[in-house]
Structure 1
Amino acid sequence: MNTKITILIIFLFGGIISSFGQGSPYYKGGFKIKFDDKDEKYVRIITWAQVQANYDDSRTPSDTDPDPSDLSFQLRRARVLVYGQIVKDFLVLTHIGVNSLNSNNMHPVGGEGTPQVFMHDAWAQYNVAENHVLGAGLHYWNGLSRLSSQGTLNLMTMDNDRASWSNLGLSDQFARHVGVFAKGNFGRLQYNVAINESISNTLDNTSLNSESAVYQGRNLLGSANAGKNYTGYFAYNLLNMESNFLPYKVGSYLGTQELLNIGAGFFHHPDGAVILDNQGELQGENVNLFALDVFYDVPLGENGSSLTAYTKYQYNDYGTNYQFGPYASGNMFYGHAGYLLPGKFENTRFQPYASFNLTTIDAMDDDRTILGIGGNAYLNGHNSKLTLEYQRENFNGQTFNRVSLQAMIYL
């Protein structure tokens, strides 16, 4: 066999890896195929799967399930991410996968209408100066807050706070926009900003009315008025510098980093929402979202324990009296904290945590609250872990209880 081919196979299946710490001493960043000794020519491959068992006492009958069971199973995520470069100044990334595949949305032969595998990310970027990058494509360089670009490889909670993906399906495709972005840092201040196209076929199919706005600006007013949106996020690193090589924010470093970051961000979509005026004519309304957040992750002593904490305030203006699913004009307060119990990395580690979301809604007198209590069992850092979480939601006079168990492996 050709020597070069033999070496390539060894690299691929042997997992030649480089340091990209995310909380495991065994795994340092995916299969990495190197083509030189300077680490400037390479292809890196990451793959992961999350499988869940869910108990939910709020399931309601439907045409396809007249008597739903409280217990169900689903493939929450299955993804493959690949990126690489030939020279250090140019990089291309692609990310494909499937989400939330379950018995109600599967197809007998995997046909149209199921949660098909689709392109999550696909962008190219260029280093235009030291510590500054320009890029374009289908990207995840979101503004607003840290949770708006939360990675799913190393979550501390069972999943991301759903309302923190604040435009998912309204202006973007599954938290991704097609657009141009810039990212980098000025000393300890990191930034990412973007100008994006907004989608036409938004999830919001609410009928037009004069009482509350609907998120259908581009579809009804046209791309000239409502086609673009503008977003950015800025974080000051008070302790160590966190990597911003990729946009996927780490949920918990499990004591491998000492970080204290203060962030602020925005999202602006001119005429993103529409409402009927007193004469029954269409009137555009700007969508403006702002957020302030703090992320703290620090080892505690020398016994292997660590603390992870995050808190955020977000101001939401989706338009007059807007409410659709988890999104609403009003204010949102969110926070979570977890404590990694003392121990050694080579042993199974445990991390209890709690989260809380309080959302005030302009269109209603009632607030939404979501309390989460759970814990992680790290069999091999984030690369192999089990998560158990109880979630209690109170909204509009109703209480919903959910319990989920998730198994995750990523390579």
Structure 2
Amino acid sequence: MKNTLFIIWLLQSIWILPTKAQVQADSSSVRTPKPVPDKTELKYNLNESGSHYFKVTFLNQTWLRFDQSNPGTTVLGEPAAHTFDVGLRRTRIQLYGQLTDRAFIYFQFGQNNFNFLSQNAGNRKMQVFFHDALTEYAVVKGKNYLKLGGGLTIANGLSRFSQPSIGTILTMDVPVFAQATVDQTDEFSRKLSVYARGQIGKIDYRLVVSDPFPITTNGQTAPALSTNSTFSQKSHHKQYQGFFTYQLWDKEPHTTPYMTGTYLGSKRVLNLEGGFITQAKAMWHSSETQDTVYTNLNLWSVAAFLDMPVNKNKGTAISAYAGYFTYDFGQGYLRYNGIMNPANGTTSPLSGISNTYGNAFPMFGTGNVLYSQVGYLLPKNLLGEGNGTLLPYASLMYANYKRLADPMAVYNLGINWLLKGHTSKLTLDYQNRPVYEAAPAGNIIQTTRRGCVVLQYQLFI
């Protein structure tokens, strides 16, 4: 009898246990279905829900450019009234991910401004470098209230264009003047920093303490001490920054410190923005009564940003920005900059100012700047199914730098052909810039203007 009961119990166990396991497995699969992979991105999920992940992106921007050179320009010793060149404006790899509920990591690796003149210590094999390497911790799990981070990062104050997402910009290129200390006391706008950032209600904020690089390590000969202010070569103080945004409509994404250029109608954004950068004794100059005078660096801006759909059915949208910047680099500060300059010399130098050749203009200085841009996304089927659409734009930089006798105006007109959004796009851009010369009285006056045409192809995944 006991043997019969044991056999019955054993048969029931063999039948019931797999059935229970199968029911549990089926129930589990219903509760937590595996996420469907997004084939538009390179992403590896670290957990079942996909909330923990690691992602890789690639970006390349190729330029074909014709430029009317500044007067006196030379290329490798020969006069060049105009130039034509091919270059890589940016080549980047991003690697980042949410490793736990609270821990985030971000790297960016690549190079910038690579054309036939680009050299690294006389070697055309230009050195690529880490633009960003940061770690971040969310203090409140699942919320953006407070994130603490540190490392090499572009997170800073001043403006949204001081920390732009270059793969999503409206115009062909960012307004580089907003990266006010670029390659002076930073590494292509990145600094070694610790920061706090977050979103509380409609407020998006970031507060940053940076350890700026000495200007003597930027790979160029530092300017000599003179009566016009330049970055100090002897003092070292921390830099304090802050940026604040009041988001009236949709909240902007908060994954990385970078700020989107245009959402192409996918969001409804209206922001009021303001920011600052300050550093004690960052600048120096000489005077008649004192060999060396140290002054503080003080920069601030206020702006409004609009990006919204106009007609969702047609796919039309508008993007606009208007900002006011006040720059105090000390008395007489003025710096020329030419993006990926296609020239390397001049027979008509400006006394005390370097790099005035090629496509350069006085991009940075002590004074005030007004900057605005606007673009309109045309209907999504404008060019037929599968052929993308067009996004024309215009921008204006108007600067009143104290060392210039005449205000400076640089404007750009262009059109994006969005073959597949920001992933694949062609941009045709025309820029018109002023040319300045030294007058007998010592003033720097505008004498003429020059133009530049660029065709860019961007591929971004």
Distance in 1 between residues matched to 2:74 and 2:103, nearest whole Å: 50
* Residue among 78, 96, 109 paired with 1:96: 109
Question: Does residue 1:154 correspond to 2:168, yes or no?
Answer: yes
Distance in 2 between residues matched to 1:95 and 1:339, nearest whole Å: 30
Q: Which has the larger displacement, 389-398 or 261-270?
A: 389-398
Query: Is residue 368–residue 395 contact of structure 1 (8 Å, CA) maintained in 2?
Result: no
1:400-411 equivalences in 2 (<5 Å):
400-411=450-461
Gaps of 5+ in 2: 1-35, 337-362, 437-445
Deviation of 1:62 (Å): 3.9
Query: Is residue 430–residue 451 contact of structure 2 (8 Å, CA) maintained in 1?
Result: yes
Which residue number in structure 2 is paired with residue 205 of structure 1? 222
Question: Does residue 1:259 correspond to 2:273, yes or no?
Answer: no
Which residue number in structure 2 is paired with residue 72 of structure 1? 85
* Residue among 51, 54, 68 paired with 1:43: 54
Distance in 1 between residues matched to 2:221 and 2:207, nearest whole Å: 26
Deviation of 1:115 (Å): 3.5
Q: Give the secondary structure class of the aligned counterpart of 2:196.
A: strand
Deviation of 1:67 (Å): 4.2
Which residue number in structure 1 is paired with residue 316 of structure 2? 305
Q: Give the secondary structure class of the aligned counterpart of 1:352.
A: strand
Q: Which amino acid aligns with 2:456?
A: Q
Query: Is residue 271–residue 306 contact of structure 2 (8 Å, CA) maintained in 1?
Result: yes
* Residue among 327, 333, 337 paired with 2:374: 337
TM-score normalised to the size of structure 1? Answer: 0.88
Query: Between Structure 1 and Structure 2, whose CA radius of gyration is higher?
Result: 2
Deviations 1:44-95 (A, max 9, x none): 0000101000110116544625244521110111110001233121111110
Which residue number in structure 2 is paired with residue 21 of structure 1? none
Question: Does residue 1:328 correspond to 2:344, yes or no?
Answer: no
Q: Which amino acid aligns with 1:399?
A: R
Deviation of 1:191 (Å): 0.4
**Structure 1 pair 295/112, CA: closer, same or farther in 2 (3 Å)?**
same
For the aligned residues, what is the CA RMSD? 2.0
Which residue number in structure 2 is paired with residue 84 of structure 1? 97
Deviations 1:155-200 (A, max 9, x none): 1111001211111012211000001011001111000110001111
1:368-387 equivalences in 2 (<5 Å):
368-387=408-427
Distance in 1 between residues matched to 2:387 and 2:75, nearest whole Å: 48
Query: Is residue 282–residue 294 contact of structure 2 (8 Å, CA) maintained in 1?
Result: yes
Deviation of 1:206 (Å): 2.2
Deviation of 1:316 (Å): 0.6
Q: How many residues of Structure 1 are paired with residues of Structure 2 in the alignment?
A: 378
Deviation of 1:245 (Å): 1.8
Q: Which amino acid aligns with 2:262?
A: S
* Residue among 282, 286, 298 paired with 2:292: 282
Question: Does residue 1:352 correspond to 2:366, yes or no?
Answer: no
Query: Is residue 204–residue 324 contact of structure 1 (8 Å, CA) maintained in 2?
Result: no
Q: Give the secondary structure class of the aligned counterpart of 2:449.
A: strand
Distance in 2 between residues matched to 1:165 and 1:114, nearest whole Å: 26
Deviation of 1:114 (Å): 5.1
**Structure 1 pair 337/63, CA: closer, same or farther in 2 (3 Å)?**
closer
Deviations 1:100-142 (A, max 9, x none): 11111257xx974654211100001111123210011001112
Q: Give the secondary structure class of the aligned counterpart of 2:139.
A: strand
Distance in 1 between residues matched to 2:229 and 2:125, nearest whole Å: 30
Query: Is residue 99–residue 105 contact of structure 2 (8 Å, CA) maintained in 1?
Result: no
Which residue number in structure 1 is paired with residue 186 of structure 2? 172
Deviation of 1:280 (Å): 4.0
Q: Which amino acid aligns with 1:66?
A: E
Distance in 1 between residues matched to 2:53 and 2:221, nearest whole Å: 42
Query: Is residue 238–residue 259 contact of structure 1 (8 Å, CA) maintained in 2?
Result: yes
Query: Is residue 262–residue 295 contact of structure 1 (8 Å, CA) maintained in 2?
Result: yes
Question: Does residue 1:58 correspond to 2:69, yes or no?
Answer: yes
Gaps of 5+ in 1: 1-14, 18-25
Distance in 2 between residues matched to 1:319 and 1:175, nearest whole Å: 20
